[in-house]
Structure 1
Amino acid sequence: MLLAFGLGGGEILLLLFIVLFLVGVPFWGYKLGSVRTIGGGFGLLLALLLNLLGLLVVYLFPKIDNLVVADAPEQLRKYKELLDSGAITEEEYQSQKARLLK
């Protein structure tokens, strides 16, 4: 079909390459950003504006799964204080404790 428009093999490859960079890279930026702290929207925007360089910037942000609560003992103490004061229930305390100790 494209050959009917006078496009040869080289032009078709060039069109595929252009489509990959105009559509594929921003989609890739969105997917990368959605599992990182930057977010999908900013990943998409960076990939649209900066293309492959934008993807590298997205890769610099940490993954959401790798975020570790550094002050888990402190938070656990605060939840225990809330439990002792009656502000939260035992079930809420246990769920927060399980989340922090995961």
Structure 2
Amino acid sequence: MTGHPRLNDKDTEELPRELLELGRQIANLPSEYQADMGRVYDQVVDSARRRRRILSLVQEALSQLRLDIKYLMFDLQVTRDERDALRQDSSED
């Protein structure tokens, strides 16, 4: 057997190599052990997928935050420049 029967190609791309190897080993167990270990393995796989999704969401949020900060820093600098220009104009009068 090449892997756990419940895994498809998409799953193998997103799971750690060690977890895939564990799935192969479970698939080679006798059927009485395979059922029990398979349930636990499925829980571990679900947990790994959930962690990967959460990590992806956090990375996206951080990227958006960085972009927002850049825009805010630009806006702050433009506002300061405008303030300084107005002060200079008012002091010349």
Considering the TM-score relative to the shorter chain, is it more than 0.5?
A: no
Higher relative contact order (CA 8 A, sep 6+): 2
TM-score (norm 1): 0.33
TM-score by length of 2: 0.35
Structure ranking higher in helix proportion: 2
